[in-house]
Amino acid sequence: MQIRFLKYIFRLLANFFSSILIKFTIPRKQLGTREAAWRSGSVLGP
């Protein structure tokens, strides 16, 4: 019961942060490649 609740909270937080990231990264095109690399999970690029 509690694990399901925690998964629900985590999903809400993930959606919230992703929407914030999208709002911040759309106006700034120069950071697009770095944000895309971070979002895909590769931390190799500078």
Q: What is the pLDDT of residues 24-36, one digit of tens each?
A: 766 655 555 666 6
Domain ranges for the chain: 1-28
Q: How far apart are CA 9 and CA 18, in angstroms?
A: 14
Q: How far is CA 40 from CA 10, 22, 33, in A?
A: 19, 14, 11
Q: What is the mean pLDDT of residues 7-33?
A: 79
Q: What is the mean pLDDT of residues 8-36?
A: 77
14 has a pLDDT exceeding 60: yes
């895309």: which residue's tokens? 36
